[in-house]
Structure 1
Amino acid sequence: MANYNKTSNNRLVVPEAQEAMNRFKMEAANEVGVNLTEGYNGHLTSREAGSVGGQMVKKMIEAYENSIKK
């Protein structure tokens, strides 16, 4: 049986960035039309969750590419 009360094992390298990462995730979810809420989002389908993560990666790559153009 799965333990759904388990805390996440995902840890940020810079813990002070947690709030910014949460805002970034909400922004990405909004851009792809996923209704993301604070806290647990077990109602999301794999496709929805993946689209949020994919959007985040896309934006990070875009930011990196823009930084090396200069």
Structure 2
Amino acid sequence: MASRSRNRKLVPECAQALNQMKYEIASELGVPFGSPGAGSMDAEFAGELGSIPAGGGEQYLGNITAREAGAVGGGITKRLVQQAQQTLL
């Protein structure tokens, strides 16, 4: 049986918006992301020096717990449902 990717976006162009939403919700919940110790450095200055990618890019999230990841995913789902409900009304 061939495996299918279930993490495919229905609208591929929405990936950037979903990533932005993920980082917004993570920061609202106080979930640390980035490389270990990166929270103490000035991201703008470090981006100019090239020690971290400028523009935010895809950041490392392997240091968060499953509970934190679930909270972020739940927050994304909650926002998407709210936006859909507002669109329908």
**Alignment partner, residue 5 of structure 1:** none
**Alignment partner, residue 51 of structure 1:** 71
Cα distance in structure 2, aligned partners of 1:64 and 1:13? 15
Q: 1:1-70 alignment to 2 at 5 Å?
A: 10-37=7-34, 38-69=58-89
Cα distance in structure 1, aligned partners of 2:76 and 2:24? 9
**Alignment partner, residue 3 of structure 1:** none
Q: Following TM superposition, by how much is the alpha carbon of 1:9 offset from its aligned partner in structure 2, in angstroms?
A: 6.3
For the Cα contact (< 8 Å) 2:33–2:63, is it kept in 1? no
User: Per-residue displacement from partner, 1:10-61 (whole Å, max 9, x unpaired)?
Assistant: 2212222221111111111112221233333111101110110011011111
For the Cα contact (< 8 Å) 2:33–2:61, is it kept in 1? yes
Greater gyration radius: 2
Cα distance in structure 2, aligned partners of 1:66 and 1:9? 27
- How high is the TM-score relative to the length of structure 2? 0.58
Cα distance in structure 2, aligned partners of 1:45 and 1:39? 15
Q: Following TM superposition, by how much is the alpha carbon of 1:68 offset from its aligned partner in structure 2, in angstroms?
A: 2.0
Please, which runs of 5 or more residues in structure 1 have no aligned partner?
1-7
Please, which runs of 5 or more residues in structure 2 have no aligned partner?
35-57
- How high is the TM-score relative to the length of structure 1? 0.70
- 1:41/1:9 Cα in 2 relative to 1: closer, same or farther (>3 Å)? farther
